Amino acid sequence: MKEMLKVGNIQLNTNVLLAPMAGVTDITYRTICKEMGAGLVYTEMVSAKGLYYKDIKTAQLMKINQKNRPVSLQIFGSDADIMAYVVENYINQRDDIDIVDINMGCPAPKIVKNGDGSALMKNPSLAGEIINKVKKSSTKPVTVKIRAGWDSKNINAVEFAKVLEYNGADMIAVHGRTREQFYTGKADYSIIKEVKESIDIPVVGNGDIYSPQDALKMISETDCDAVMIGRGILGNPWLIMNTAKALLGNFDFYEPSLTKRIEMIKRHASMLVSELDEKIAILEMRKFAAWYMKGMKNSSETRASINKITNAEDLYNVLNKYLETID
């Protein structure tokens, strides 16, 4: 069993981390995943330039629930001076932000075309400069999320990680896919293992964890210090609880009943409504409801109905009706 991960001066209480995911890891879903036992939760990625230019949407992304701490704020960008500036002038002042994470792994075209996200994998010297300047400006630990490399011909995670460590990174999370792969194919655990063997700071493994057994396999194959779960928790936050148990040798997993799943959809929706305008919250809830209901028997009609709903009362009624049909 691994020791509980410490990131800089921040001690985690489980070695299961919730990956930062745009449009997913908002304040509401972070709260649910924290309750399930996530040792560290990340915000959706925040634009350093958006922060610099005081973009209103950026402020919403940075809302933190104190109960969710420790929280890592993930920023993206490729201008080292702007990134250091926003860390020094905006993030250091925030007591509710515990860690600063730099995104060097996002494969989205709109991010990459600006030289941000995984495009930085092609420019190790700039990546090193960013970490160096951010680290000097930050009063909090600085971590990085990277990929295996840009494409199959340029798998450079090991060399890249060494540059980041040299420049002061406190931890590196490695997604075992290249940018070229996006989320297709399989995550290559061997590259995570090589990174772990080549640097002295903690390494977190990321990619293809859909069951507690996947997490155990990743740790046994890579010797990584902790696991980061991304798409596996879409509609299944209980995966975090069960993975945290598995890492402690407890295989008495919790399997939510259909009723419990529906109750979670209702609770998630009510939490979203308390954060956002009701209509916006319910529109946002559509994708979450679809994830929660994936694989539920005779649920396609209910999911179709949910996609036409714009208020919470109608959502609850549709879910209650579905429960009656399957009792």
DSSP letter assigned to residue 75: E
* 70 known ligand binder: no
* 74 known ligand binder: yes
Of the residues 7, 38, 97, 106, only one is catalytic, namely 106
* 268 known ligand binder: no
Please report the beta strands in 159-293, taking only residues with DSSP state E, as ranges in sequence order.
Answer: 171-178, 203-206, 226-229
Q: How many angstroms separate the CA atoms of 272 and 278, rounded? A: 8
* 168 known ligand binder: no
Please, which residues have CB within 8 angstroms of residue 217's CB and are 6 or more apart in sequence?
A: 189
Active site residue 224: no
Residue type, 118: S
Please report the beta strands in 150-211, taking only residues with DSSP state E, as ranges in sequence order.
Answer: 171-178, 203-206
Query: What does the DSSP assignment read for 9-50?
Result: TEE-SSSEEEPP-TTTSSHHHHHHHHHTT-SEEEPPPEEHHH
Q: How many angstroms separate the CA atoms of 296 and 292, rounded? A: 9
Please report the beta strands in the chain, taking only residues with DSSP state E, as ranges in sequence order.
Answer: 6-7, 10-11, 16-18, 40-42, 46-47, 71-76, 99-104, 142-149, 171-178, 203-206, 226-229
105: its two tokens: 């792994």
Please, which residues have CB within 8 angstroms of residue 311's CB and are 6 or more apart in sequence?
A: 278, 279, 282
Please, which residues have CB within 8 angstroms of residue 221's CB and are 6 or more apart in sequence?
A: 189, 190, 193
**Binding site residue list for FMN:** 20-22, 74, 145, 175, 230-231
So which residues are the catalytic ones?
Answer: 106
Q: Residues comprising the binding site? A: 20-22, 74, 145, 175, 230-231
